[in-house]
């Protein structure tokens, strides 16, 4: 199963599986890539390279290094699938496929007649891309040729695949009456791209991830009387929903779900972070922070993303300073011990994936 996520990992350590053809630099076998969103309209999205084992230099814009071209405007989402990287550059309206070294292989230009691209999932040789305007596009993972579409809903956000089903967040629609926030999680048959059912979830669903055959969802509320929330959906138990707490972001890995509630008071420009976790195997929420000795500034920094390196179990937390400066990444080991922090190489770190 492959999800939006933020941490999709190739499990083989066989270097023969790597495709570094065309690379201008030599990269180690254990590698990570950070997609930095940049600032909308500034054409400054970047793809950074990081070596988790410390055996290679950080490269702040490896896409430019490898392709002698800018990535474009607004890096929206990225996954790893079959040792390739797939990234949506939303403002520039394209989906790009890159090899394990960040060398571009293909791209799919999203037609102007279609809604903005948002998030990705992958399975069984296909890439699934959500779009505003109520569309999920199914593409051949090797050619990026469109092989099917689903049309329904309003503005579609997060997506995850589980047992041949796509779980898709139908977030909101906007009309003359203003924003109309939805409570829909669509279940779509991935094979024929047909709607199967709609699950009622918390208002304004957004981020969707899969781990251990369960779907995890964060809803953003209506920015008035309904706030952020986290839920779990159990497909093997009649899609039973379970409330897990209040969270603005999450990541999954190694039978764990890590949550943060990172809320900013825009009147005072102060942020407060609350970290907690859910153990899938024991079905328990741990309301205590999974971080033990985090740098003091992380408690009040705006968390923009989290990711887990499945090889080591290390947890990465990316914070944003918006357009003021590059984001900062904080790394912790699987036990929550602080390891290091480093510059993300670009503004607004959106997601981080690992290849080994």
> pLDDT tens digits for 174-233?
999 999 999 999 999 999 999 999 999 999 999 999 999 999 999 999 999 999 999 999
Res. 16 pLDDT band, cuts 50 70 90: low
pTM of the model: 0.94
Tally of CB atoms within 10 A around 133: 14
Residue-wise pLDDT for 332-347, tens only, equals 999 999 999 999 999 9
User: Taking residues 91-98, what's their average pLDDT?
Assistant: 98
**With 70 as the cut, is the pLDDT of residue 8 above it?**
no
Please say whether the beta carbons of 196 and 189 come within 8 A.
yes
**Mean pLDDT rounded to a whole number for the chain:** 95
Burial class (CB in 10 A: 0-12, 13-18, 19+), 20: middle
Taking the alpha carbons at both ends of the chain, their separation in whole angstroms is: 17
- Phi and psi at residue 17, in whole multiples of 5°? -80, -15
Name the DSSP letter for residue 66.
H
**With 90 as the cut, is the pLDDT of residue 266 above it?**
no
User: Taking residues 120-142, what's their average pLDDT?
Assistant: 98
Of the candidates 300, 247, 301, 318, which has an alpha carbon nearest to the alpha carbon of residue 278?
A: 247
Res. 163 pLDDT band, cuts 50 70 90: very high
**With 60 as the cut, is the pLDDT of residue 2 above it?**
no
Please say whether the beta carbons of 206 and 157 come within 8 A.
yes
Q: Describe the strand order of the beta sheet including 178-189 as a list of residue ranges.
A: 155-162, 165-175, 178-189, 194-200
**With 80 as the cut, is the pLDDT of residue 10 above it?**
no
Q: Residue 108's beta-bridge partner residues?
A: 95
200 SS3 class: strand
Please report the pLDDT score of residue 9 as a whole number. Answer: 35
117 SS3 class: strand
Res. 17 pLDDT band, cuts 50 70 90: confident
Q: Using a pLDDT cut of 70, give the percent of the chain over it.
A: 96
Please report the pLDDT score of residue 274 as a whole number. Answer: 98
Residue-wise pLDDT for 42-93, tens only, equals 999 999 999 999 999 999 999 999 999 999 999 999 999 999 999 999 999 9
Alpha-carbon distance of 151 to 64, in angstroms, equals 35
Half-sphere exposure of 77 (CA within 13 A, CB side): 26
**With 90 as the cut, is the pLDDT of residue 3 above it?**
no
Q: Which of 12-26, 58-72, 316-330 has the weakest average pLDDT?
A: 12-26
Res. 11 pLDDT band, cuts 50 70 90: very low
Please report the pLDDT score of residue 1 as a whole number. Answer: 38
Half-sphere exposure of 120 (CA within 13 A, CB side): 30
């Amino acid at each position: 199963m492959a999800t939006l996520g933020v941490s999709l990992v190739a499990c083989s350590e066989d270097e023969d599986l790597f495709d570094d053809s065309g690379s201008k630099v030599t990269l180690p076998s254990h590698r990570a890539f950070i997609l930095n969103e940049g600032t909308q309209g500034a054409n400054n999205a970047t793809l950074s390279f990081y070596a988790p084992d410390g055996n290679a230099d950080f490269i702040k814009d490896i896409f430019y290094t490898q392709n002698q071209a800018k990535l474009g405007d607004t890096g929206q989402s990225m996954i790893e699938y079959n040792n390739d990287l797939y990234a949506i550059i939303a403002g520039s309206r394209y989906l790009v496929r890159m090899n394990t070294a960040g060398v571009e292989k293909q791209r799919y230009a999203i037609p102007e007649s279609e809604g903005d691209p948002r998030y990705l999932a992958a399975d069984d040789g296909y890439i699934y891309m959500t779009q505003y305007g109520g569309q999920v596009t199914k593409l051949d993972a090797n050619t990026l040729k469109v092989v099917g579409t689903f049309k329904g809903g309003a503005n579609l956000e997060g997506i995850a695949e589980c047992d041949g089903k796509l779980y898709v967040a139908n977030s909101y629609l906007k009309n003359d009456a203003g924003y109309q926030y939805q409570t829909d999680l669509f279940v779509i048959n991935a094979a024929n791209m047909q709607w199967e059912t709609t699950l009622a979830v918390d208002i304004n669903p957004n981020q969707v991830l899969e781990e251990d055959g369960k779907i995890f969802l964060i809803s953003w509320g209506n920015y008035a009387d309904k706030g952020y929330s986290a839920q779990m959906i159990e497909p093997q138990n009649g899609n039973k929903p379970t409330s897990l707490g209040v969270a603005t972001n999450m990541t999954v890995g190694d039978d764990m779900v890590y949550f943060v509630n990172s809320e900013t008071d825009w009147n005072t420009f102060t942020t407060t972070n609350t970290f907690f976790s859910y153990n899938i195997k024991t079905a328990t929420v741990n309301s205590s922070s999974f971080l033990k000795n985090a740098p003091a500034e992380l408690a009040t920094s705006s968390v923009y993303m989290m990711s887990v390196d499945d090889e080591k179990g290390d947890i990465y937390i990316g914070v944003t300073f918006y357009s003021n400066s590059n984001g900062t990444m904080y790394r912790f080991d699987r036990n929550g011990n602080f390891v290091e922090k480093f510059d993300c190489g670009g503004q607004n770190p959106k997601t981080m994936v690992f290849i080994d």
